[in-house]
Amino acid sequence: MAKDRSQRDAYTRPVRRLLVWVICACLIALFLFWRIDNPRAERFRAHVADKVVPGMEWFMKPVTGLTRLARDFQSYQQLSDQNRELRSELRQMQAWKEAALQLEQENARLLDLNKVRLDPRLTYITGVAVADSGSPFRQSVLLNLGARDGVRDGWAAMDGIGLVGRISGTGRTTSRVLLLTDMASSVPAMIQPSGQTALISGDNSAAPLITFVETPELVRPGDRVISSGEDGVFPSGLLIGQVAADPAGRLRVRLAADFERLEFLRVLRYHGNAAPQESGTLVIPPEPKIQGPPAPPARAEPRAGREAAGTAPQEGEQDG
């Protein structure tokens, strides 16, 4: 057994060496021939490629598939990393946007409350919203301004950017502001740039209805809504908001004032042509005045008789 194996190895080993040398020589020759710059060699190479390459396509398919799969995996990994980075940047941008909007609104509100005048004839007084006296059927806020500050019923209240409502009840130190969103609120308005007049009617929602529009076809979402001043109570030109459309197709106004954060309110002193005749419900009703019994009428003595008698009324002495 061992002898046969040794004889077989002695026969196959030289054959293997010969085959290796022949293969190496063929490869070297093929390499050299492939590098030859000759028209005949070029035609031969093209002929060999036409014959061999189509037959090797089935062999190259797994290699091509694996290469494409690896490339797609790398692309997917890159896309996943980019998507993660973009989501992180988007969250940061949303936080920055919210902070910028809050700062912009607060800055505009404070600037308006401190410096800006809507009309040279108008003056105003600024108060703080101390409480919300609203209910599901009535929406209003309380101000720390009252009759002692000269506040009257019907005056407009703004948050520095847009109209909030009107004074509907005054006490000595506090007053109530009826918001535009309340069902009892109706404000004549003008829609720009079409110049259409309308009525802003509250319905206890965040966006009051726009009713009684002369030509609704001329009104577009995004149009500016301001007070018209036709009621004689509100001054004209107060910003209310922008036109919007609800899913039912009804026109509404997106209020410019920030009703979620009513901190400081500006009450405009405006003496228009008309004024409310009856005061609203007072925050603190006035105490009734207690009148004493009427004093008895004094009898007047003729002055001529006194002078003739030479007497005059002394201090603290009543006539009669």
Among 120, 82, 140, which residue's Cα sits nearest to residue 262? 140
Q: What is the pLDDT of residues 118-156, one digit of tens each?
A: 555 678 888 888 876 555 556 888 999 999 988 988 899
Q: Is the pLDDT of residue 312 over 80?
A: no
**Cα–chain center distance at 298:** 73
Residue 264 has a CB neighbour count (10 Å cut-off) of 18
Q: What are phi and psi of 87, to 5 degrees?
A: -65, -40
Q: What is the overall mean pLDDT for the chain?
A: 76
pLDDT at 307: 45
Burial degree of 113 (CB within 10 A; 0-12, 13-18, 19+): middle
CATH number of the domain at 123-269, please? Answer: 2.40.10.340
Higher-confidence residue of 117 and 224: namely 224
pLDDT at 76: 80
Q: Is the pLDDT of residue 313 over 70?
A: no
pLDDT at 111: 61
Contact (Cβ atoms closer than 8 angstroms) between residue 141 and residue 257: no
Q: Is the pLDDT of residue 283 over 50?
A: no
What gap in Å lies between CA 126 and CA 110, rounded to an integer? 11
Query: Could you tell me the pLDDT band of residue 90, with boundaries at 50, 70 and 90?
Result: confident
Among 270, 185, 190, 259, which residue's Cα sits nearest to residue 224? 190
pTM: 0.50
Residue 62 amino acid letter: P
The residues of the chain that CATH labels 2.40.10.340 are: 123-269
